[in-house]
Amino acid sequence: MKLKPAQSEVAPGHGGVAAHGARHVAIIMDGNGRWAKKRHMPRVFGHQRGVEAVRRTVRAAREMGLEALTLYAFSTENWRRPEDEIGALMSLLKRFIVDDLDEFAANNVRLKIIGDHSAFAPDVVELIDKALARTRDNDGTTLAIALNYGAQDEIARAAAKAAARGPVTVESIAAELDTADMPPLDLLIRTSGEVRLSNFLLWQAAYAEMCFLDVLWPDFTPDHLAQALADFAQRERRFGGR
């Protein structure tokens, strides 16, 4: 079967959905530790290389016409990791924002955080909030970074807000989710070979297509994304109908 090209001629922010048909892709960026271990290097080396994979993936997502890319960077359960690894992840996050903010601003990327980043250290919170403010009015690709994010926490927070406003319904909860202003999730990718969701976008994944790749996150390239989008374009989505 011939695959449709994943590359799009339609730029986001100018209307229209790219040829692959996906508007919103989310990625569980997993396997940094194993990537480093294979090279007899400390885990943090894998995280450093993981940031480079993030950078090229964000560029590729823009070029491939995605309206939204959501990246799982730090889960509510990742606090269980050793303090020095958490510290290294925070330093990398800060450096990423400092180094890449100009590029986001120049390319009409809107930065968004899902999860509760207010739990982070004050300097990290300040840096993030400034980056959010600077890119708030951009209407190209939305880059949502999941920080201190857990889907169960997100749904509980949304349900509490919905209950405070009135009847709790599917729609009233959906309207309070962290992703409420984003297009529906089309495709969820996980790297590293693990086949689980690890508390990521449980609600939004209800009818998303899934793609589990046997590649460790630092090895993820735009070609992997293009292939995942080409596979997505071949899938028949039924949403329970027939």
| Measured distance CA(177)–CA(152) in Å, rounded | 11
Residue showing tokens 């201190």:
148
Is the Cβ of residue 52 or residue 139 nearer to ligand IPE in the bound state?
52
Shortest CA distance to 6 belongs to which of 21, 27, 24, 25? 21
Q: Which whole-number Å values give the CA distances from 224 to 15, 113, 141, 194, 211, in the listed order?
A: 25, 24, 19, 16, 11
Site string for Mg ion, 12-41 (x = CB under 5 A): ------------------x-----------
28, β-bridge pairs: 72, 190
33 scored as a contact of ligand IPE (CB under 6 A): yes
| Residue 32 annotated as catalytic | no
Is the Cβ of residue 44 or residue 162 nearer to ligand IPE in the bound state?
44
Q: Which residue is nearest to Mg ion (CB)?
A: 30
In this chain, which of 198, 202, 219, 231 binds ligand IPE, going by CB under 6 A? 198
Site string for ligand IPE, 39-78 (x = CB under 6 A): ---------------------------------xxxx--x
Q: How far from chain centre, in Å, is Cα 126? A: 21
In this chain, which of 6, 22, 51, 89 binds ligand IPE, going by CB under 6 A? 89
Shortest CA distance to 146 belongs to which of 43, 24, 47, 28? 28
Q: Three-state SS for 194?
A: coil
Minimum Å distance from CB 121 to ligand IPE? 17
192 scored as a contact of ligand IPE (CB under 6 A): yes
Minimum Å distance from CB 224 to Mg ion? 17
For residues 143 and 182, is the Cβ–Cβ distance under 8 A? Answer: no
- Residues belonging to the active site: 30, 78
Binding site for ligand IPE (CB under 6 A): 28-34, 72-75, 78, 89, 192, 194, 196, 198, 217
